[in-house]
Structure 1
Amino acid sequence: MAAARLLRGLLFRPWLLPPPGAPLRSSSTSSSSSGWEFLSVERRGREGSVAVVRLERPKALNALCEGLMSELGRALASLEAEASVAAIVLTGSERAFAAGADIKEMAPKSFQECLGGDFLGGWDRVARTRKPVIAAVNGLALGGGCELAMMCDVVYAGEGAQFGQPEILLGTIPGSGGTQRLTRAVGKSLAMEMVLSGARISAQQAQQAGLVSKVFPAERLLEEAVALGERIARNSKLVTAMAKEAVNTAFETTLAEGCRAERRLFHATFATQDRKEGMEAFVGKREPRFKDQ
């Protein structure tokens, strides 16, 4: 049980609670009315188990600025600390998931400022989120927007979505994982073509290449992403976090190291009540009642 308590503590860390004056939920009217300037947060699904975080910079096609990324980090931290939230859906508008980083904000920066301030260093907050994050991508996912989608655990796309890393056209290269995650997702040849030429690929091409899990009509995209979140929510949050860690290890280590990590996590599930409940429910031919313990 000690392992279960440790894992539970990692999942629900009290120090991740939002600072005073930063409410979690947004109203259905506007993000500014709920304390957010650049995004909105609402609860969907059964018992509000799925949180939908929507990027809200429509005039800039959801370009990623420092303010937006800071708010996104706070929102994710708050949602990680909420025991009732089992999965998170990250989305934008029908025109753009995120058209890239905010070039107007980026252009004046010097090498010294980028290096000294570790520019983009904290933009990987999505990738460090312990709960499953599902990207629901409509429209443009370019540059930082493509990188943001790739930080998510599952990527669903609308039929008109476009993905690309066009930084080369601006005299720079991807700086938030684009060359690394894209290569792991689609292979060296297509990644090189996209990064070196700035070429975009369609949602259908992205699915064929392995960047996208499923493609839906734009109007159905969000409901399908939420439905996936609800399916995930029916499982043990504790074990889901362990499964996510195991899959992520495959991208970061050798096969032998990954298999060892997987086996250790598998063994750790036997220290949880949920593993016992799941197997007893299977044997008893009933639905399991997981308690995230």
Structure 2
Amino acid sequence: MMDFKTESPPPATPAFLKLSYPAPRVLLVRMDRPKDLNAMSTAAQWEMDSVWKWYDKEPNLSVAIITGTGRAFSAGADLKEWNNSMAADADPSQRMGNAPAFKPLSKRLGKKPVIAAVNGLAMGGGCEFIVNCDLVVAAEDAYFGLPEVKRGIAAIGGALPRLIRTIGLQRASEFALTGRNVSAQEMEQWGIVNKVVPKEVVVEEAVRYAKTIAANSPDAIICTRAGLRQGWETASVERAVEWTLEKEFAELQRGENMLEGLKAFSEKREPRWRGSKL
């Protein structure tokens, strides 16, 4: 990694993230909870939120890359912590899904591009991150999934409306409603992944993209990305996410199946679903 100076110091990231600068004007964000498959605890989400806010304000940075340590890109939300937060005596304001920093990348609009270097499995919120990244480089053995329906919860981080815009209703429905895993090669065919490469060069390839972008005008990068995002986001994506979160997900949280799915996951057993009352 090169010796690179930012105008302002980065935020402290002791719990989850490692920051470095692989090239001029390029930030590399590495999720570093390999034993937990880089699942995001509440503390990790706050770190991620602060890093993206700093990145957008830091004038000496133009492009960011996000990747994971170990065999996973990210398994998404820390479901064990989420299960504990759903206990009857827990403070509702502290539930993971209610944290202000929840979904810090999957719902991020931001000013500057983020490239995903997908080094391994990307599940749940980890997959939602990728759907909202500007470019995606994936390892040959990486795979993706939205298994929320198997856990009694739902993918409410922004991926559902964005998937429809990227891959169409039928493919998005197959992906989200079955909860099946999808290979990097299939994701490339669908148009979500830009390039599939050997695992050992996935970050290197992402850096190559980042250096090419960072060589351009910082102002033009921001302006061009804003135009691209307006075409993708305008009118319905955020409205759809907020409507789902405020109406459907609020009902889901009050039901029995979300509690059962999280509890079954923590107890390493198959969930025992109840008939829906939504």
Within 2, Cα distance between the matches of 1:116 and 1:35?
22
Is structure 2 residue 77 aligned with structure 1 residue 101? yes
User: CA distance change for structure 1 residues 35 and 55 in 2, over 3 Å: closer, same or farther?
Assistant: closer
> Which residue of the other structure, out of 225, 228, 237, is the alignment partner of 2:218?
237
Residues 207-247 of structure 1: per-residue CA shift (max 9 Å, x gap) = 00011111111111101101111111111111111110111
Q: How does 1:193-212 map to 2 (within 5 A)?
A: 193-212=174-193
Whether contact under 8 Å (1:93, 1:139) holds in the other structure is: no
User: Which residue does 2:45 correspond to in 1?
Assistant: 69
* Aligned sequence identity (%): 36
User: Which residue does 1:9 correspond to in 2?
Assistant: none
Q: How many positions carry a matched residue from both structures?
A: 224
Whether contact under 8 Å (2:55, 2:61) holds in the other structure is: yes
Within 1, Cα distance between the matches of 2:98 and 2:13?
25
Whether contact under 8 Å (2:13, 2:47) holds in the other structure is: no
User: Which residue does 1:218 correspond to in 2?
Assistant: 199
Is structure 2 residue 25 aligned with structure 1 residue 49? yes
Q: Which runs of 4+ in 1 moved over 4 A?
A: 114-118
* TM-score, normalised by the number of residues in structure 2: 0.74
Residues 78-137 of structure 1: per-residue CA shift (max 9 Å, x gap) = 222322211100110241110121101111344992799862553343322211110100
User: Which residue does 1:128 correspond to in 2?
Assistant: 109
Greater Rg over alpha carbons, structure: 1
Within 2, Cα distance between the matches of 1:113 and 1:184?
33
Within 2, Cα distance between the matches of 1:117 and 1:51?
27
Whether contact under 8 Å (1:101, 1:143) holds in the other structure is: yes
Partner SS state of residue 42, structure 1: strand
Partner SS state of residue 64, structure 1: coil
Is structure 2 residue 70 aligned with structure 1 residue 84? no
Q: How does 1:143-182 map to 2 (within 5 A)?
A: 143-182=124-163
Residues 185-210 of structure 1: per-residue CA shift (max 9 Å, x gap) = 22111211121111010000000001
Partner SS state of residue 199, structure 1: coil
User: CA distance change for structure 1 residues 231 and 114 in 2, over 3 Å: closer, same or farther?
Assistant: same
Within 2, Cα distance between the matches of 1:57 and 1:174?
22
Whether contact under 8 Å (1:44, 1:51) holds in the other structure is: yes
> Which residue of the other structure, out of 22, 39, 60, is the alignment partner of 2:17?
39
Give the letter aligned to residue 101 of structure 2: G
User: CA distance change for structure 1 residues 245 and 109 in 2, over 3 Å: closer, same or farther?
Assistant: same
User: CA distance change for structure 1 residues 231 and 80 in 2, over 3 Å: closer, same or farther?
Assistant: same
Residues 129-171 of structure 1: per-residue CA shift (max 9 Å, x gap) = 2111101001110100001112211111111110110000011
Within 1, Cα distance between the matches of 2:159 and 2:99?
12
CA RMSD of superposed structures (Å): 2.4
Is structure 2 residue 164 aligned with structure 1 residue 188? no
* TM-score, normalised by the number of residues in structure 1: 0.70
Partner SS state of residue 191, structure 1: helix
Partner SS state of residue 43, structure 1: strand
Report deviation, 1:179: 1.6
User: Which residue does 1:263 correspond to in 2?
Assistant: none
User: CA distance change for structure 1 residues 161 and 114 in 2, over 3 Å: closer, same or farther?
Assistant: farther
Give the letter aligned to residue 175 of structure 1: I
**Gaps in structure 1 of 5+ consecutive residues:** 1-13, 18-22, 26-33, 255-293
**Gaps in structure 2 of 5+ consecutive residues:** 1-6, 236-278
